[in-house]
Amino acid sequence: MIPPQEASARRREIEDKLKQEEETLSFIRDSLEKSDQLTKNMVSILSSFESRLMKLENSIIPVHKQTENLQRLQENVEKTLSCLDHVISYYHVASDTEKIIREGPTGRLEEYLGSMAKIQKAVEYFQDNSPDSPELNKVKLLFERGKESLESEFRSLMTRHSKVVSPVLILDLISGDDELEVQEDVALEHLPESVLQDVIRISRWLVEYGRNQDFMNVYYQIRSSQLDRSIKGLKEHFRKSSSSSGVPYSPAIPNKRKDTPTKKPPRRPGRDDMLDVETDAYIHCVSAFVKLAQSEYQLLADIIPEHHQKKTFDSLIQDALDGLMLEGENIVSAARKAIIRHDFSTVLTVFPILRHLKQTKPEFDQVLQGTAASTKNKLPGLITSMETIGAKALEDFADNIKNDPDKEYNMPKDGTVHELTSNAILFLQQLLDFQETAGAMLASQVLGDTYNIPLDPRETSSSATSYSSEFSKRLLSTYICKVLGNLQLNLLSKSKVYEDPALSAIFLHNNYNYILKSLEKSELIQLVAVTQKTAERSYREHIEQQIQTYQRSWLKVTDYIAEKNLPVFQSGVKLRDKERQMIKERFKGFNDGLEELCKIQKAWAIPDTEQRDKIRQAQKNIVKETYGAFLHRFGNVSFTKNPDKYIKYQVEQVGDMIDRLFDTSA
């Protein structure tokens, strides 16, 4: 049971809590009422704001749209005004540019091209928008006039600034130096740089905007003339300046290219110095053409559009190339005429030229890449013509050596070397400078069959004119042996013109000896040995044989006093008249024969000192020995009252007389 006091206290506590809760509840109720009121007020405000916002939107949107339309209208007006200004400007182009077009582009190309660009745009506008307007005709006429002025300026610049290349500069260009470590390239400036840039600008404009190709014809005609004149100027330089001391190379570069002939062939019988000059000039003109054509293509590549370059270049080089080819054919024609009149020294002109053409052909082919087939074939055609005429010259020369007539008045009276021999050897020696060329000439005509030389498949290619150097060398060796064989046969025939067999022998000896010594002094002997190993020994045998034949001429002198033909006399026994007469006849026969032979043979000639001394000494030994024995036996025999009449010479005197043989100055 809870005590009353505690119950009363607990009740008061509960009542206090209840009262407190009621107060809290009352506060919450008041707060909710205020919140509801505030919510109602906010809703009312928002509703009012929404209403006002809708009213504002309904008022502003039409204004905004109206403003936007006004802005668009303003922009359209501005664009229209701008277009009007642009269109109006086209109507002023003719008047604004007419003065510049009339005065031309000289000295102000950039400004001029700028005016042409304005005129072109005006033409395009009127063609698109007002094709019937008179303004179109105005600007079109102005454009055509401007284009013509540009074409005229192109021609003028090319004409005024294209200069002939001087011969000295060309010689520097073609005289490269293979020996100097440092070699500055010789550059050609065909046009000043500023002029070149103007020409390039005009060219590009004419191609891109002028739709014109006539300027390319102007270009090649002007440059073609300069190229042709440059080469002709070099040729004229040779004619005026060349002398026997050498070719007029530029002093700027003293050394020459290996493929440029620097060694003059030996002086040829009957050759004119002028002919050598013409040969040198032609060779250098060929080299000049290659170098100048290369330079021309470099210039052309900057000025002419790429797809027109080959055709324009082909046209540009034609005159100069045709001139070279015509001159080459004239050389062939002259060689052909020289062959007819047996002037083979003149034909030798073809050899250095042909050699140079073949050496230069790779550069020629490179320069002519892309040109027409007819252009490319010109040089090979000339080479073929020269090889053909050269081969004919070689064959006709060999035949001429064989068939040269035995004219008595043409024979050397002293039995010295015949002109035919010296000319033949000189011709063969000159071939040494052109071994490959001459061998190729023979090979090109497939002369292997002529000389019975088998054609080894390894020595030939698919081309009939392409043979190995070894095969060509064998062909040339066989040819030289053929010439020497023909010469020997002809000399034998000619020797029969002499009535005196001894003079005939001296003649053959001199010629054979000359041939052998000439072969030995040059590379001819090695070349001959390629196909005839015993040629040298054979000539020595021929020479010795002729010496023996000559020595037999002295038998009619020595036979008078030879031991085998002398009578036998007993010592101490008086000679009978018949015996004395026989001794007198022996002395007289020897004296007369000695005097006669010495008189005759003194006028004969043996040009080779060594051979002359050898023959004299051998003959002197034979005669002195025979005469000495005879004189020893009969010099003290009393066979005459007048011994001086018969014993006219002592042994040493006989030797002295023989020492004066073959010496017209003695």
Q: What is the 3-state secondary structure (H, E, C) of 607-632?
A: CCHHHHHHHHHHHHHHHHHHHHHHHH
Q: Which residues of 427-449 are buried (b: 16+ CB within 10 A; e: fewer)?
A: bbbbbbbbbebbbbbbbbbebbe
Return the pLDDT at 449.
45
For residue 446, the model assigns a pLDDT of 56
What is the length of the chain?
Answer: 666
28-57 b/e (C-beta count within 10 Å ≥ 16 → b)? eeeeeeeeeeeeeeeeeeeeeeeeeeeeee
Q: Could you tell me if 500 and 411 are in contact, meaning their C-beta atoms sit under 8 angstroms apart? A: no
pLDDT for position 467: 58
> Residue 169 is which amino acid?
L
Q: What is the pLDDT of residue 97?
A: 84
Strand partners, 460: 467
* Local structure of residue 289 (DSSP, 8 states): H
The pair of structure tokens assigned to 391 is 């081969």
Q: For the chain, what percentages of helix, strand and coil (3-state, to nearest 5) are there?
A: 75, 0, 25
120 close to 209: Cβ distance less than 8 angstroms: yes
Residue whose C-alpha is closest to residue 351's, from 458, 251, 263: 263
For residue 556, give both structure tokens.
Answer: 């009619």
- Burial of residue 156, with CB atoms counted within 10 A of its CB: 0-12 exposed, 13-18 middle, 19 or more buried: middle
Low-confidence ranges of the chain (pLDDT < 50): 81, 85, 177-183, 244-271, 447-465
Q: What angle do CA 232, 163, 371 make, to 5 degrees?
A: 65
